[in-house]
């Protein structure tokens, strides 16, 4: 006996699992751009950002992104850095992690449990997901307030081998 809609639900589940499997592993940041509703494109972490995003088989993710031009601190020890140095370092860095789930074949949700930006803790970061060859794209699907304007964002990642 077949329940109405069951084949479609099974296909959707398989499609989500396929995306989940493709996400697993480590990815290096290639580019990060945001585009305003009037077409202005900016690079929030500069022209040479770096980063790593990791998705684990246990259902966790962690993302670390930084400006490629962040200057080193004067001190070799973090606790000896000045408040100004720490603030400048934080402005050029994004870090968060927690459990993730694939909502549908084009959407992944990061449930933030740790973050450099405390306001993200306990919230979700929803991203549109796409794959092309060895590249992963994650983006904000609908315009949101970013860097002084309503913008979408797109991050391109390359598989780490």
Domains: count for the chain: 1
Compute the half-sphere exposure of residue 117: CA atoms within 13 Å on the CB side of its CA. Answer: 15
Quick one: pLDDT at residue 160?
72
Whole-model pTM? 0.89
Contacts of 105 (CB under 8 A, 6+ apart): 12, 15, 16, 18, 19
Contacts of 30 (CB under 8 A, 6+ apart): 135, 156, 157, 158
The answer to whether residue 101 is domain-embedded is yes
Domain that residue 108 falls in: 6-159
The answer to whether residue 117 is domain-embedded is yes
Dist. CA 126–CA 141, nearest whole Å = 9
The answer to whether residue 138 is domain-embedded is yes
The answer to whether residue 22 is domain-embedded is yes
Dist. CA 43–CA 47, nearest whole Å = 6
pLDDT digits (tens, 9 = 90+) for 70-84: 989 998 998 999 999
Quick one: pLDDT at residue 1?
38
Average pLDDT, the chain: 92
> Could you tell me which of 132, 23, 149 has the C-alpha nearest to residue 140?
149
pLDDT digits (tens, 9 = 90+) for 7-32: 667 888 999 999 999 999 999 999 99
Give the CATH number for residue 11: 2.40.128.280
pLDDT digits (tens, 9 = 90+) for 140-159: 978 888 778 889 999 999 99
The answer to whether residue 76 is domain-embedded is yes
The answer to whether residue 1 is domain-embedded is no
Higher pLDDT, 10 or 101: 101
Check: CB of residue 160 under 8 Å from CB of residue 25.
yes
């Amino acid at each position: 006996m077949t329940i109405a809609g069951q084949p479609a639900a099974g296909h959707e589940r398989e499609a989500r699992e396929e995306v989940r499997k493709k996400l697993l592993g480590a990815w290096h940041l290639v580019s990060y751009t945001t585009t305003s509703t009037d077409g202005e494109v900016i690079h929030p972490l500069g022209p040479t950002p770096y980063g790593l995003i990791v998705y684990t088989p246990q259902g966790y993710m962690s993302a670390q992104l930084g400006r490629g031009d962040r200057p080193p601190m004067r001190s070799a020890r973090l606790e000896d850095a000045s408040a100004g140095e720490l603030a400048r370092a934080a402005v050029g860095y994004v870090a968060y992690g927690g459990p993730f789930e694939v909502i549908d074949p084009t959407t992944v949700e990061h449930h933030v449990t740790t973050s450099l930006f405390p306001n993200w803790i306990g919230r979700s970061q929803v991203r549109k997901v796409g794959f092309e060859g060895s590249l992963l794209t994650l983006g904000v699907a609908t315009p949101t307030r970013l860097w002084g304007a309503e913008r979408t964002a797109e991050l391109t990642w390359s598989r780490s081998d």
